[in-house]
A and B are shown apart, each in its own frame.
Chain A
Amino acid sequence: MAYPSMGEAHRRITDYLNKFGDAVSYQDVASLAQLFSFSSNSPSLLSLADALNFFQDANRLIKQSDKFSQFGEILAPLFRSLQSYRLGNLVEAYHAFEKFANAFIQEFRNWESAWALQALYVIAYEIRVLAERADRELSSNGKSPEKLKGAGSFLMKVFGVLAGKGPKRVGALYVTCQLFKIYFKLGTVHLCRSVIRSIETARIFDFEEFPRRDKVTYMYYTGRLEVFNENFPAADHKLSYALTHCNPLREANIRMILKYLIPVKLSLGILPKTCLLEKYNLLEYNDVVQALTRGDLRLLRHALQEHEDQFLRSGVYLVLEKLELQVYQRLVKKIYFIQKQKDPGKAHQLKLEVIVKALKWLEMDMDLDEVECIMTILIYKNLVKGYFAHKSKVVVLSKQDPFPKLNGKPVNS
């Protein structure tokens, strides 16, 4: 890397300082945000970093003029962070950046208007990304990665600054989304609860007034939380909201949403078309859907086993596993239809032996007791209407709608 001359370095630094000063005094948030956006790797920032590394006494330049010295708390750590960032020392860069961010928050607090929100967004984003990278550096050095956690608590602070009344509240949801990303990554989703409560219980601010992208992100994450809680109607609502409001051109985002929405819909008895799965490359669900339509228990189990790791990681394994009852229902329904074709008069009496035999064909080795148990569960869960006569080992189906459809309602628990 070619080192700039001393004068060049000096010029770049003062240039940056002037930009910063101008952006603040003219409240030009776009250019201000640019100044903080490390991850953009913009040439101007990189060259500034080189200049800083070459011209070691940048603090003197900050202190030289009153215009900058009042922002010394902000600028000095920012420079340090940029230097370390350029040198690839991400842990150091994170430390300095957090200092800078704290100083900036302090300043931001004093600005009555929310003009600098965009810059704050950039900072919130940068600190998260930087923390993730610093953690990677730490863990590769055998140290415990804790920076993301630190970034989480910093963003909590930022949330506190924004969450009150006033024009700054608009920014709260963005910070919330950054927090979600951190918490989901850290596996500490329980920490989301307080933020969610603050967002959802606030009467002074209508959720719809938040920026759309933030709303979509927020709905996505809260929808995922509902999936964990197996609260399928709520999850359906939130994920569907995210799906309908997200940018239709962002297929990656749509896929992320569908990844959770499809299992939710499945457990509500709504099956996707194969073309949808194909379009968004979600074919791991294809077998599951097929199993549901055919009542093929073996296929379901096979699909679950095949994609077990994937489903466990994304957290839908248990949801998909619960589809088993629907598969049984489908199977019994099929048997019922066959019987009806043979002997409509006795179609509503399903002998347990028949079901066991059907399962045997599916290579599901189950004895009478077990199948009896499953039938009672199906009745109990209202997937089958009727009753079970233990003495004769017969499932007696209701003559009216013996296999009620879920139609968007979750399986009776």
Chain B
Amino acid sequence: MEDDDEMMNQAANTQTLASVDPNAVENRYVVNANQGQTSLYVPSTTGSEAASWNMYRVENHSAESGSFSNSTYHHVQHSEPSSRTVQDGSNATSLATSSSLGGTNTQPDYGGYTSYSNSAGTYSHGSAGYQGYYSGYQQQPNPSYSQPVGAYQNTGAPYQPISSFQNTGSYAGPTSYSSTYYNPGDYQTAGGYPSSSYTHQTTTWNGSNYANYTTQQYSNYTQDSSGAYAAGNAGANSLHYQQHYKQWADYYNQTEVSCAPGTENLSVASTSTQLPQVSQVPGVSGGYPTSNSQAPTTFAPPWRPESSSSQTPLLQPGATVTGAYDSYRTHGAPSFQNQHPSPVQPHFVKPLESKSSYGNFQEQQKTACPQLPNLQYPVAQQAPQNYQPPMQTVQSLETQRVSKLQIQTNPRIASNLPLGLSKLDKEGPNNSAIAKPAYISVSLPKSSEKVLSNDAADTVLKAGVFPKSLKSYVQRALALCKDEKQSAACQEIMKEIITKATSDGTIHTRDWDAEPLFPIPNTDMTDKNNSQNSTPVSLFSKYKKSPTRRTKSRWEPLEEKSVDKLGSLNNYAAKYSSRVPLDEKDRKPIGASSEGKTDVMKKIRFPQMEQKSASKTVQRQAKRQRLADASAADNGDASSDSDKEQNLTAYYSGAIALANTPEERKRRENRSKRFEKVQGNRAESNHFKAKNAGTGNLYARRTSALVLSKSFEDGGNRAVEDIDWDALTVRGTCQEIEKRYLRLTSAPDPSTVRPEEVLEKALLMVQNSQKNYFYKCDQLKSIRQDLTVQRIRNHLTVKVYEAHARFALEVGDLPEYNQCQSQLKILYAEGIEGCHMEFAAYNLLCVIMHSNNNRDLLSSMSRLSAEAKKDQAVQHALAVRAAVTSGNYVLFFRLYKTAPNLNSCLMDLYVEKMRYKAVSCMSRSYRPQVPVSYIAQVLGFSSGVLTNEGSDEKESDGLEDCVDWLKTHGACLVVDSNGEMQLDAKASSSTLYMPDPEDAVAHGDSSLAVNDFLTRTSS
């Protein structure tokens, strides 16, 4: 609360300010997340926009949730397309007013912000404007970007509802900017972006569950970035970068803060860091946007100047990173620019600069914080044009505030997402702060991941004293480091983490491995953490959690895309290179100012942190630079990706450790509950509901596993074999027998995975179930999934696959059967007992009936062992084969009637062909007539044997069927003198035809026709 108050004061004199702050914080968080994402994204290059978007979405969600926590934010939540549009309209107006007004403290501030945000300042906006952006963005996607300004307004609209101040301010800024800045030149590019990039984003977003939020958010982001870019052309870029720097510094501070005793201080620190992050985010987003589409243009200008000199060389280093880097550089000011020519050096320099800037920032913040809102804002307003350092500082301050708020929200949000608990509201005072953290967590994950990785490394260093799990954790983190620098940085981070953990007393309680089935109780932790650590921890945990989840599913695609984007960025950079000089100039001053501010900030917020930060920040910066380099390198270099990811993983693991504190869990749960509403769209929400107290830990585990696996996958260099899958294997705790199948999009949650005993019961239940095939298929799939997830490969696995294969055969669901069959082949090959022969026969029949490939048939026949050939089912299958190849229909239908197991089900699929062949043959060979009763008997229409008098009725039934069948196939039937139906062979020989199957479907597989399938299977 104190923090909040401070924030309030700083942010604005009035309540509006307070409200705004949260928003701003949230926005910033989002920004932060974006940054993190961007960095992450960068590696991916191609950018799988969707993936990146996802990340954004997460952030957005967090932001939204944050907003939710805040009353004002509710609007944001509403931020459905329609509502948003409406809001947008209002926002726009409010924005306009705010921009024009400037009279109120907030408005002026905003104006300044806006200028910042617009120019470079999406970040500055980030604090206030960002939120606006977010909301606006979210909405924007729906509206479509045709009008950049309008889009901004839209973003603003959501904000307004939340906090008039921020929204207006942000909006005003954007609007004003848009009018001025955008129109000028950047806008052209921006305009282009909106259409292309925006559409892309929206589409991608829509696709995902998060789609609504994410899209909006994304759009917002993109817009922000674009806006920032537009501004960025001149000073905005530089500003953003500076902010980024600050953010990074703040980040570090925040992390430290979390450990720090003073919650308030911590929160402040976090905010400050967040802000930097936010600012970074913009930069990142800018970088991303470029990659995506929007960003490229907007970013391109800012970047190009900077990057053009350095980027071309550096480009690889970092598509995503580059964005950040550039921002850093720009912020960092001239020195960075100089460095640009030599990529490596620049990076290093940047860290140093960032440090300095950090110090400055902190100092500035300290001083400014109380006053800052007012002062800074005015400054900011001025800044837009000149981009003076003061402006930046203001922004940073604002952002910092925002970040604080956001951080709190974020944890909650994050918790909400995973757990779906609803305690946030209850927390009340904390809500703003906490809720924000949640958001942050969402957004942070990405950015935080990097940081965390470093932290993890630090912990590693100290591991000797600590639990084995921690050691292994450290080892893992270190293992990810490719070069000495990284490992050194990693170690530093790990040290920090461990020190924090020790100070918190969580070292032993944390689930370092993230794998242990039963996380250590949190209660111990809570007491210690409650006052000071709770918020920071929560933030971390949240970050870690939410990011990990999302990262998994979304990351991979993103990275790929990011590369492409980088390329585009490069191009852009080249184009805009001419502008660079200007940007650099602007940036330099800004960077200086920012630095000063950062120092202030640190002092104020992070007393403890500062001490550490002096050395650590430098190190961290260096790390970050490396990360950026790595990301930049990603363009051409796979290895760079792995580096990043390594860091990320380390970061995650650190975050996870933090996340396990009891408070965090509670918050998360609350948040998650809240989120359930939001997530209504998500099918996965069920999975996320945490029922057990241990969920937090489980989540952490999962996330860590995910991260690990992820990093391994992406790392390329690291073989999958190097992963200790045994340690990562989930062991389920779910006791419910029935479970719906849902394709996993993230690491499995042990609480939703059933252990083997339960699965056995589930199989029995399904086998005895009277429900239709769909139900059984669904249940069996979920059983199979649980088996796979837990890597259970034994007789039960075989039983499940066999059962499923049989059910599938019964209804003729060949695709599903084939899946099971191929799995069974592998399982049998592993020597697991089962109905091997039965399925060998099925396999043989399948080849005979459905592939006209003699080679396949020969090879599967030659694979049969002598023992198998003695098996009744296999012999039957072989006999069927002989009947089919020789066209012996009599034999075929006799075999059909004596088929063991489900062989007849497979033969069913060939009956029609066989009958047609048989009748063709008959009509050619018989003269003059053939009795239909004979045909019915020979071709399996009648089930009984002719001589059996008791089956007269059946025979007549078969006869009718046969007549029908013959008629539909064009046979000529005549009735002879005895009244017996006869097939006129000669006449029929020319009139037989194969009718189009009644259930013919365009895609050629009638079994896929839903209606038909339903009629066959639902009974």
CB distance from A307 to the nearest CB of B (A): 12
CB distance from A226 to the nearest CB of B (A): 11
Q: Which of B854, B891, B930 contacts A318 (CB 8 A)?
A: B854
CB of A324 closer than 8 Å to a CB of B: yes
Inter-chain CA distance A229–B920, complex, in Å, is: 24
CB of B518 closer than 8 Å to a CB of A: no
A373 and B926 form a contact (CB under 8 A): no
Inter-chain CA distance A234–B46, complex, in Å, is: 51
Q: Which residues of A contact B862 (CB under 8 A)?
A: 309, 312-313
List 3 tightest A-B contacts by C-beta distance, closest first: A376-B925, A387-B927, A379-B925
B924 and A390 form a contact (CB under 8 A): no
Q: How many residues of B contact A (CB 8 A)?
A: 28
> Which of B855, B886, B890 has most A Cβ within 10 Å?
B890
The verdict on A228 contacting B925 (CB below 8 Å), with A370-B890, A390-B934 known, is: no
CB distance from A50 to the nearest CB of B (A): 35
Taken residue by residue from 157 to 182, chain A's Cβ proximity to chain B (1 for < 8 Å, 0 otherwise) reads as 00000000000000000000000000
Q: Which residues of A contact B938 (CB under 8 A)?
A: 369, 373
Q: Which of B858, B885, B927, B931 contacts A389 (CB 8 A)?
A: B927
Inter-chain CA distance A229–B856, complex, in Å, is: 12
B855 and A315 form a contact (CB under 8 A): yes
A377 and B921 form a contact (CB under 8 A): yes
* A380, closest chain B residue (CB): B921
CB of B764 closer than 8 Å to a CB of A: no
Q: Which of B885, B890, B926 contacts A369 (CB 8 A)?
A: B890
CB of A43 closer than 8 Å to a CB of B: no
CB of B882 closer than 8 Å to a CB of A: yes
Q: Which residues of A contact B837 (CB under 8 A)?
A: none
Inter-chain CA distance A376–B929, complex, in Å, is: 13
Inter-chain CA distance A376–B926, complex, in Å, is: 7
* A368, closest chain B residue (CB): B890
* B921, closest chain A residue (CB): A380
Residues of B at the A interface (CB closer than 8 Å) are 854-855, 857-859, 861-862, 882, 885-891, 920-922, 924-931, 934, 938
CB of A230 closer than 8 Å to a CB of B: yes
The verdict on A388 contacting B927 (CB below 8 Å), with A312-B861, A377-B887 known, is: yes
Q: Which residues of B contact A315 (CB under 8 A)?
A: 854-855, 858
* B928, closest chain A residue (CB): A389
Q: How many residues of A contact B (CB 8 A)?
A: 31
* A370, closest chain B residue (CB): B890
CB distance from A229 to the nearest CB of B (A): 7
Q: Which of A317, A325, A387, A389 contacts B886 (CB 8 A)?
A: A325
Inter-chain CA distance A321–B882, complex, in Å, is: 9
Known: A189-B855, A388-B927. 18 other contacts (CB 8 A): A187-B859, A230-B854, A312-B862, A317-B861, A324-B886, A369-B938, A373-B889, A374-B888, A376-B921, A377-B887, A377-B921, A380-B887, A380-B925, A387-B926, A390-B926, A390-B929, A390-B930, A390-B934
Q: Which residues of A contact B927 (CB under 8 A)?
A: 387-389, 396
B885 and A318 form a contact (CB under 8 A): yes
Inter-chain CA distance A390–B980, complex, in Å, is: 14
Q: Which of B855, B861, B886, B922 contacts A376 (CB 8 A)?
A: B922
The verdict on A318 contacting B921 (CB below 8 Å), with A373-B888, A373-B890 known, is: no
Per the 8 Å Cβ criterion, residues 351-370 of A in contact with B are 369-370
Q: Which residues of A contact B886 (CB under 8 A)?
A: 321-322, 324-325, 377
A390 and B854 form a contact (CB under 8 A): no
* A312, closest chain B residue (CB): B862
Inter-chain CA distance A325–B930, complex, in Å, is: 23
A390 and B931 form a contact (CB under 8 A): yes
> Which of A187, A189, A322, A387 has most B Cβ within 10 Å?
A387
CB distance from A106 to the nearest CB of B (A): 23
* B922, closest chain A residue (CB): A376
* B863, closest chain A residue (CB): A312
* B864, closest chain A residue (CB): A312
CB distance from B788 to the nearest CB of A (A): 22
CB distance from A51 to the nearest CB of B (A): 36
Q: Which residues of B contact A369 (CB under 8 A)?
A: 890, 938
Say what secondary structure dominates the interface of chain A.
Answer: helix
Residues of A at the B interface (CB closer than 8 Å) are 187, 189, 228-230, 309, 312-313, 315, 317-318, 321-322, 324-325, 369-370, 372-377, 379-380, 387-391, 396
Inter-chain CA distance A375–B921, complex, in Å, is: 10
Q: Which residues of A contact B861 (CB under 8 A)?
A: 312, 317
> Which of A321, A380, A390, A391 has most B Cβ within 10 Å?
A390
Q: Which residues of A contact B931 (CB under 8 A)?
A: 390
A–B Cβ pairs within 8 angstroms, 25 of them = A189-B855, A312-B858, A312-B861, A312-B862, A313-B862, A317-B858, A318-B854, A318-B885, A321-B886, A322-B885, A324-B886, A325-B886, A369-B938, A372-B890, A373-B888, A373-B891, A376-B922, A376-B924, A377-B886, A379-B924, A379-B925, A388-B927, A389-B927, A389-B928, A390-B929
Q: Which residues of B contact A228 (CB under 8 A)?
A: 854-855
Q: Which residues of B contact A372 (CB under 8 A)?
A: 890
A375 and B857 form a contact (CB under 8 A): no
A388 and B926 form a contact (CB under 8 A): yes
Q: Which residues of A contact B928 (CB under 8 A)?
A: 389
Q: Which residues of A contact B858 (CB under 8 A)?
A: 312, 315, 317-318
CB distance from A326 to the nearest CB of B (A): 12
B888 and A377 form a contact (CB under 8 A): yes
Inter-chain CA distance A318–B855, complex, in Å, is: 10
Inter-chain CA distance A315–B928, complex, in Å, is: 41
CB distance from A310 to the nearest CB of B (A): 10
B855 and A375 form a contact (CB under 8 A): no
CB distance from B853 to the nearest CB of A (A): 9
Inter-chain CA distance A388–B927, complex, in Å, is: 6
Inter-chain CA distance A391–B976, complex, in Å, is: 12
Q: Which residues of B contact A318 (CB under 8 A)?
A: 854, 857-858, 885
B921 and A229 form a contact (CB under 8 A): no
Inter-chain CA distance A309–B863, complex, in Å, is: 10
Q: Which residues of A contact B926 (CB under 8 A)?
A: 376, 387-390
Inter-chain CA distance A309–B858, complex, in Å, is: 10
Inter-chain CA distance A376–B985, complex, in Å, is: 12
CB distance from B36 to the nearest CB of A (A): 40
CB distance from A182 to the nearest CB of B (A): 16
CB distance from A36 to the nearest CB of B (A): 34
CB distance from B337 to the nearest CB of A (A): 42
Q: Which residues of A contact B890 (CB under 8 A)?
A: 369-370, 372-373
CB distance from B82 to the nearest CB of A (A): 54
A229 and B859 form a contact (CB under 8 A): no
CB distance from A251 to the nearest CB of B (A): 27
CB distance from B849 to the nearest CB of A (A): 15
* A321, closest chain B residue (CB): B885
B855 and A370 form a contact (CB under 8 A): no
CB distance from A174 to the nearest CB of B (A): 25
Q: Which residues of B contact A325 (CB under 8 A)?
A: 886
* B891, closest chain A residue (CB): A370
Inter-chain CA distance A374–B892, complex, in Å, is: 12
CB distance from A192 to the nearest CB of B (A): 12
Inter-chain CA distance A229–B927, complex, in Å, is: 34
Q: Which residues of A contact B930 (CB under 8 A)?
A: 390
CB distance from B810 to the nearest CB of A (A): 30
CB distance from A225 to the nearest CB of B (A): 9
Inter-chain CA distance A34–B17, complex, in Å, is: 87
Q: Which residues of B contact A189 (CB under 8 A)?
A: 855
* A324, closest chain B residue (CB): B886
> Which of A315, A322, A376, A379 has most B Cβ within 10 Å?
A376
CB distance from A317 to the nearest CB of B (A): 6
Q: Which residues of A contact B889 (CB under 8 A)?
A: 373
* A309, closest chain B residue (CB): B862
Inter-chain CA distance A412–B811, complex, in Å, is: 36
Inter-chain CA distance A390–B862, complex, in Å, is: 39
Inter-chain CA distance A187–B920, complex, in Å, is: 36
Inter-chain CA distance A380–B924, complex, in Å, is: 6
Inter-chain CA distance A379–B885, complex, in Å, is: 17
Inter-chain CA distance A375–B854, complex, in Å, is: 26
CB distance from A402 to the nearest CB of B (A): 14
